[in-house]
A and B are shown apart, each in its own frame.
Chain A
C-alpha cells in the first residue's frame, strides 16, 4: 500500500476483520432477539428489551469495564474461555466482542422494525398452509424483512468499525492486535507528527462508511424491485 503506511494498513485490516466477525457472529442472535421482541409475548420481554438497549445508554467505558470484569483473565468466565482456546482480554477477539455488543442495539432495532412491518396475516396464512414456525420465519418473515435485516447488519458493521470507548477499555490499544482504526487515530493524535497518518485513517473511515451506506441502499432497492415485479 502506498497511500497507507504499514502501521495504518494493519489498523484498517484489523478493523475490517473485527467488524466483519462482530457482525456475522451477532447476526443470528440479533435476528432471534429482534423476532422475539417483534412477535412473541413472553414474561421478561420488557427486561430483554432494556438489556439489549443498555449499551446504547451506558457510557462505553462502563461497558468496556464490565466486559473486563466478566471476561478478564482472572474472571472465571474469561479464564474458562481462555482454557477453551478463546482468549478475549487484550486480543482482537475481545475487540470483536466489545464492538458486537455496542452495535447490537442498532442491529436489533433495524431488524425488529422491519419484522414488525411484515404483515402478520401473511405469517398466519403460511401457518394455515402447514408451515411450522421455523418455516414461516425462513420463507415468509425473513425474505420480506430482508431489506431491514441487511440494513441492520450494515449499520452494525459501520458501528463496529468505529467503536472506541468499550474496545480500548476492554482490550487496550495494542498495535497489530487490538489497535483498530479509531484507536490508531487516537494514538497518532497523541504522538508528534502523527497528524498525516490520522487524517489518512479518517479518510478511510469516511470511505468505508459511505460505501456501507451505498451498499445497503442498493440492496434495499434491489429487494424492493424484486418484491413488486
Chain B
C-alpha cells in the first residue's frame, strides 16, 4: 500500500470501445476528466461493481476485485451519487435517506441532514422536490450509507448554475473533512478547477495523465481540459481586508489584490488564475490599471495549432500560465529563461476561483 485511497486497473471491451484504465489516487477528491465517451462513467460503474470489468479495484487498501475475486455491488460500500439522483419514487425522503443506513440510523445522520438543509423535506415524496433538493437528498442518501468511497457521476450536470452553486460547497466540505475519498466525474472545467485535488484525464478509454490538480492544470503540455480551461493554482495567505473592498493576499512574498474574498486574515487560500487572464510584459509596467504584477521567468512555451500559445512562468508565488497570441510570443521574443513580468487584473479572478483548504 502506497497510501493510495483508490487503486484501479481495469480492462473492458465493448464492441469497438476498449477501456484500459489504471491509476492510483490519494485521499481527497479525484476528478475523472474527459470528453463524453472517454470512459469516465465506465470506470466509476466498475468501481461500484455495477459494470463487470476485468482487473483490479481496491479502495482504502481493501481489494474489491482482482485475482479472480469479485465482490458484488451491495457488499462494496460505495456512496454513488447519480446524475439523475435516482431517488426511489415510492418512498418518502426519510425512507430514501435511510435506505442504505446500516444498523438503523447512524449517529451522524442529524449532522448530515442539517448540513444539507433537508430536515423539512423528510415526509415529502421525491416527485414533489425541486432539482436542487433532489440532488441534496441523493447526496445525503449516499453519505448516510457510511460509504468507503463516494462516487459522483456528474452529479451537477442536470442543474442550472444557481443550483450548482448550492451543491458544490457540500462536495468541498466532504473533501475537506477528508474522511472519505471521492471519485468525481466531470467535463466542466470550472467544477474541476474548484473541486479537484487529483485529476485523472481520460481519452478514448485510456488515462492520459494523473497528478495533483495544481500540476495537471498548470502543465501546458497536457491541458487536458482544453486550452481555455488552462490555469494555475496559487497558494496564498489572506493578509487583510482593505477599506476599498479588496483583499490583500500574500503568495511567496508577493502581494496579490483580489476583490474581497471570504475568510479571516491568516487563512490559507487556493486561488485559481486562468491562463487567459494573465498578460506578459518585458519590463515592470508603469501607469497601468492592473494591480498585480509578479516578477517571473519563462519556463516553457507551447504554441498551439491556432493563433494562441501557452507560456508557463515561474514566479515567487509558484508556476502560473499565460495564454497569449503567437504574434506576441514572437514580438516579445519569449523563450525559456527570459525574465519577464506577469500582469493580472484583480477583477479577473472570479470569486469562485478562491477556495479554502
- Which residues of A line the B interface, CB within 8 A? 119, 121-122, 124-133, 136, 139-140, 143-144, 226-229
Q: Chain B interface: which size bin? A: 20 to 34
Does B260 sit within 8 A of A, measured CB to CB?
no
Contact in complex: B88, A126 (CB < 8 Å): yes
Nearest-neighbor residue (CB-CB) of A119 within chain B: B86
Q: How far is the CA of A83 from the CA of B135 in the complex (A)?
A: 61
> Closest approach, in angstroms, between the C-beta of B31 and any C-beta of chain A?
20
Are A121 and B74 CB-contacts (below 8 A) given A129-B99, A129-B141?
no
Q: Are B50 and A140 in contact (CB under 8 A)?
A: no
On whether the beta carbons of B74 and A132 are closer than 8 Å, the reply is yes
A150 CB to nearest chain B CB (Å)? 14
Expressed in whole angstroms, the minimum distance between the Cβ of A27 and any Cβ of chain B is 20
Complex Cα spacing A129 to B86, Å: 12
A121 with B84, Cβ < 8 A, contacts A127-B74, A128-B79, A130-B145 known: yes
Which chain B residues lie closer than 8 Å to A131 at the CB level? 74, 99-100
Interfacial chain A residues near B127, Cβ < 8 Å: 227-229
A128-B48, A128-B80, A228-B127 given as contacts; is B90 within 8 A of A143 (CB)?
A: yes
Residue of B75, B99, B127, B142 most packed against chain A (CB within 10 A): B99
A98 CB to closest chain B CB (Å) equals: 36
Q: Contact at B145–A227, with CB atoms within 8 Å?
A: no
Given known contacts A122-B86, A124-B50, A130-B145, A228 and B73 CB-to-CB distance under 8 angstroms: no
A interface SS class: helix
Q: A125-B88, A127-B72, A128-B50 are in contact. List 13 more A-B contacts (CB 8 A).
A: A121-B82, A121-B84, A122-B88, A127-B50, A128-B74, A128-B151, A129-B100, A129-B142, A130-B74, A130-B100, A130-B102, A131-B99, A228-B125
B211 within 8 A of A: no
Interface SS of chain B: helix, strand, loop or mixed?
loop
The answer to whether the Cβ of B78 comes within 8 Å of any Cβ in the partner chain is yes
Q: Mark B52-95, 1 if CB is under 8 A from A, else 0.
A: 00000000000000000000111111111010101011100000
Partner of A229, one of B82, B100, B125: B125
Q: Provide the bound-state CA to CA distance between A111 and B109, in Å.
A: 37
Q: In the complex, A133→B49 CA distance in Å? A: 13
A-B contact pairs, 27 of them (CB 8 A): A119-B86, A121-B86, A124-B50, A124-B86, A125-B80, A125-B82, A125-B86, A126-B99, A127-B49, A127-B50, A127-B72, A128-B48, A128-B73, A128-B76, A128-B100, A128-B145, A128-B151, A129-B100, A129-B145, A130-B77, A131-B99, A132-B74, A136-B74, A140-B88, A144-B89, A226-B90, A227-B127
On chain B, the residues within 8 Å of A130 by CB distance are 74-75, 77, 100, 102, 145
Residues of A within 8 A of B77 (CB): 130
Q: Which residues of A contact B72 (CB under 8 A)?
A: 127
- A133 to B75, alpha carbons, bound, how many Å? 11
In the complex, the chain A residue whose C-beta lies closest to that of B144 is A129
Cα A214 to Cα B328 with chains together (Å):
80
Q: How far is the CB of A8 from chain B (nearest CB, A)?
A: 43
> Which residue of the partner chain A has the closest CB to B85?
A125
Bound-state CA distance A229–B126 (Å) is: 9
- Knowing A129-B99, A129-B141, A130-B102 are in contact, say whether A124-B90 is a contact too (CB < 8 A): no
A227 interface neighbour in B48, B90, B100, Cβ under 8 Å: B90
Could you tell me which residues of chain B, from 171 to 221, have a CB within 8 Å of some CB in chain A? none
Minimum distance in angstroms from B84 CB to a CB of chain A: 7
Q: Which of B75, B76, B90, B100 lies at the interface centre, i.e. has the most chain A CB atoms within 10 A of its CB? A: B90
B48 / chain A contacts, CB cutoff of 8 Å: 128
B43 to chain A, nearest CB (A): 15
Within the assembled complex, what's the spacing in Å between the Cα atoms of A119 and B82? 13
Residue of B nearest to A226 (CB): B90
Most B-side CB within 10 Å, residue of A128, A132, A228: A128
Check A128 against B89 for contact (C-beta < 8 Å).
Answer: no
What residues of B have a CB within 8 angstroms of the CB of A125 in the complex?
Answer: 80, 82, 86, 88
Nearest CB on A from B254, distance (A): 47
Q: How far is the CA of A227 from the CA of B92 in the complex (A)?
A: 10
Which residue on A lies nearest to B45, using beta carbons? A124
Q: Is the CB of B73 within 8 A of A124?
A: yes
- Residues of A contacting B89 with CB < 8 Å? 122, 144, 227-228
Contact pick for B78, options A122, A128, A139, A143, CB 8 Å: A128
Closest Cβ of chain A to B357, distance in Å, is 30
Chain A residue numbers with a CB within 8 Å of B142 are 129
Select from chain B the residue with minimum beta-carbon distance to A144.
B90
9 closest cross-chain pairs (CB), A and B:
A129-B100, A128-B80, A125-B86, A127-B73, A127-B74, A228-B127, A143-B90, A129-B145, A130-B100
**Roughly how many angstroms separate A124 CA and B78 CA in the complex, as a whole number?**
12
Chain A min CB distance to B101 (Å): 9
| Chain A residues positioned under 8 Å from B75 (CB to CB) | 130
Which residues of chain B are near A226, meaning CB under 8 Å? 90
A128 to B151, alpha carbons, bound, how many Å?
A: 10
Bound state CA distance, A39 and B121, in angstroms? 33
1/0 contact string of B117-131 vs chain A (CB within 8 Å): 000000001011000
